[in-house]
Amino acid sequence: MHMPTGTQWLIILLIVVLLFGAKKIPELAKGLGKGIKSFKNEMNNDTDEKVVEKIEEKADIKTTNASDENLKEEKKA
């Protein structure tokens, strides 16, 4: 399957204008842009939350290991 040529793109554009009207197309594009921006923000927030969770898990592991070592030292003494 090949990419549409310039004439084919023009026909597609004319069909879109006829279906939605010239006034509606900018509104549709604006809504699509907002949706994409919102999706990207949510993806970044989700990634940030995962990073924070991993850091917290590592901090808990270090705290647990330090507590275990303190208990071992107290038993020796």
Q: Is 1 helix (H, G, I), strand (E, B) or coil?
A: coil
- The answer as to whether 31 is a domain residue is yes
Read off the amino acid at residue 9: W
Range of the domain at 48: 23-76
Predicted local distance difference test score (pLDDT) of residue 71: 58
pTM score: 0.44
Predicted local distance difference test score (pLDDT) of residue 36: 92
Number of continuous H segments (helices) and E segments (strands) in the chain: 2, 0
Query: How far is residue 60's CA from residue 65's CA, in Å, rounded to a whole number?
Result: 9
Predicted local distance difference test score (pLDDT) of residue 69: 61
* Contact in structure between 58 and 66 (CB atoms under 8 Å): no
pLDDT tens per residue, range 6-60: 999 999 989 988 888 888 888 888 999 999 999 888 888 777 777 777 777 777 7
Query: How far is residue 69's CA from residue 58's CA, in Å, rounded to a whole number?
Result: 16
What is the distance in angstroms between the CA of the first residue and the CA of the last residue of the chain?
Answer: 78
- The answer as to whether 66 is a domain residue is yes
Number of domains in the chain: 1
- The answer as to whether 46 is a domain residue is yes
- The answer as to whether 37 is a domain residue is yes
- The answer as to whether 17 is a domain residue is no
- The answer as to whether 7 is a domain residue is no
